Chains A and B, each alone.
Chain A
């Protein structure tokens, strides 16, 4: 049985990967649209704003490059695909299949990340050519740990968005909720400014929320900055353990509520 499931997943991945290769230009453009952290880095270093947070220019540029990478491999867009599929009634055939449709979306995301990897590396090489002094090679263990935490960050966002997607069963258009949730993700995750630079009244509560573990934690880990590895991983796993049963529950309720549309 588990063998069959694994075969299904591998087939899905293969299909989605060849599908994603069709849209290479798309994915390259998407990789480019993630370069906001570099603009932020430019503001930070050009105005010497990093003196107050005790981060050298080199550490900061490594941080923002890592943030770029973490963001590249934790971008989730399942809600937009799911909403379109639900509105067009494409969900119905998926529901008949003996496989949760979210496996399909999950495989899509993983395949897209694999397609995206070469473009992200090209952007990193260009970054190093412009800032040769910031080149660093993380040790294997750091690299593995940060890859795992990036994957956890992806998993947290995937679960949150899947929960929002399930709201489509009730409201039809759920992407506006996702856009609402994207605002705190953007400003609090550390994509635009490292979390340690935040004022104290924010820092006092932010570490309980999932946001700093989406980008700030994996990026600091990869860049080799000081960060509490154990508590970071504990919080990531904690959020995954909270979100997963929630998703299963809302999926169960939603499919009961589902009325096929458009077909």
Chain B
């Protein structure tokens, strides 16, 4: 793999998609307001839950805010990269334009996953980090090098799991052609990542650790943030995320064998 070439191509992707997105400036501003309102809404919902109870699933309000912050960052990443690109796969396959992607002399997964960017998610990422900084203050967390290292490792692993989940589901389009709504199902499941896993009943907890690993996506990074995570949890997260990444890659290559071009 020619690393330099890919960096150069990516900077070109960035330039073209930013230019086209900024055509609709009013849209970007409205999306910014949406991001702020959405965060206010979820903190409002959290405050309703904590109105009658000191802790939910063993998490206090201040600690639950961390989960909210990490969810906001991940949601921002979803809106910036995953959503605009991976919903495009459906369009590629329906209209037969995947052919043009496949004949390009670059990796098709790279092209499909990173072609577009939606700047409206940036604000969500910034808001999420601001909320996390506030959480550092109110939870009196000691910041040191180890803390940063572990936080960024687990957060990175969460992003990898999230990406793989989206990519896996989008790949199934090759067989089913029209699966806009499959990603909507994933989105609604991911929604519960806003709350501590322990606040759900046992059966749902099992479901969300094994089938859709939401536990790994927001809860473990939040525990790391609080310094509560066991070392085996971090290792498990790294292993799970690498399995997901490798599997999604394999699955894409496997699915391409079944691709029969449309309308051409």
Binding site for B on A (CB under 8 A): 23, 25-27, 29-30, 32-36, 39, 42-43, 46-49, 51-53, 171-173, 176-177, 179-180, 183-184, 186-187, 192-193, 197-199, 202
C-alpha gap A180/B120 in the complex (Å): 12
Interface set, chain B 188-210, CB cutoff 8 A to A: 188, 191-192, 195, 199-201, 204
A198 to chain B: which residues have CB within 8 Å?
A: 48
B34 x A176 contact (CB < 8 A):
yes
B37 x A183 contact (CB < 8 A):
yes
C-alpha gap A47/B120 in the complex (Å): 35
Interface set, chain B 1-59, CB cutoff 8 A to A: 24, 26-27, 30-31, 33-34, 37-38, 41-42, 44-45, 47-49, 51-53, 56-57
B34 x A179 contact (CB < 8 A):
yes
> How many residues on B have C-beta within 8 angstroms of the other chain's C-beta atoms?
39
Smallest CB separation, A228 vs chain B (Å): 22
Smallest CB separation, A34 vs chain B (Å): 7
**Also in contact, A43 and B56, with CB within 8 A (given A186-B41, A187-B44):** yes
A180 x B34 contact (CB < 8 A):
yes
C-alpha gap A48/B42 in the complex (Å): 20
Of A42, A48, A202, which contacts B204 at CB under 8 A? A42
Q: Which residue of chain B has the shortest Cβ distance to A179 in the bound complex?
A: B34
B182 to chain A: which residues have CB within 8 Å?
A: 29
A36 x B181 contact (CB < 8 A):
no
Could you name 24 residue pairs across A and B whose Cβ atoms are closer than 8 Å?
A26-B179, A29-B182, A30-B184, A32-B185, A35-B188, A36-B188, A36-B191, A39-B192, A39-B204, A43-B199, A46-B200, A46-B201, A47-B53, A53-B52, A171-B26, A177-B30, A184-B37, A187-B41, A187-B45, A193-B45, A197-B51, A198-B48, A199-B47, A199-B48
B30 x A33 contact (CB < 8 A):
no
The 3 closest A-B pairs by CB, nearest first: A52-B52, A187-B41, A29-B181
A179 to chain B: which residues have CB within 8 Å?
A: 30-31, 34
C-alpha gap A67/B141 in the complex (Å): 40
A30 to chain B: which residues have CB within 8 Å?
A: 181, 184
| Residue of B33, B47, B181 with highest tally of chain A CB at under 10 A | B181
B180 x A26 contact (CB < 8 A):
yes
A43 x B195 contact (CB < 8 A):
yes
A43 x B30 contact (CB < 8 A):
no
Q: Tell me the dominant secondary structure on chain B's binding face.
A: helix
Q: Tell me the dominant secondary structure on chain A's binding face.
A: helix
B30 x A39 contact (CB < 8 A):
no
Smallest CB separation, A120 vs chain B (Å): 15
**Also in contact, A23 and B178, with CB within 8 A (given A39-B192, A180-B34):** yes
**Also in contact, A173 and B24, with CB within 8 A (given A42-B200, A183-B38, A193-B48):** yes
B52 x A49 contact (CB < 8 A):
yes
Smallest CB separation, B261 vs chain A (Å): 21
**Also in contact, A173 and B180, with CB within 8 A (given A183-B34, A184-B41):** no
B41 to chain A: which residues have CB within 8 Å?
A: 183-184, 186-187
**B187 contacts the other chain (CB 8 A):** yes
Q: Which residue of chain A has the shortest Cβ distance to B31 in the bound complex?
A: A176
Of A25, A27, A34, A202, which contacts B188 at CB under 8 A? A34
Smallest CB separation, A87 vs chain B (Å): 11
C-alpha gap A49/B34 in the complex (Å): 29
B37 x A25 contact (CB < 8 A):
no
A180 x B37 contact (CB < 8 A):
yes
Of B26, B33, B51, which contacts A52 at CB under 8 A? B51
Smallest CB separation, A53 vs chain B (Å): 8
Q: Which residue of chain B has the shortest Cβ distance to A28 in the bound complex?
A: B181
C-alpha gap A131/B178 in the complex (Å): 34
A180 x B33 contact (CB < 8 A):
yes
C-alpha gap A42/B195 in the complex (Å): 11
**B176 contacts the other chain (CB 8 A):** yes
C-alpha gap A193/B178 in the complex (Å): 33
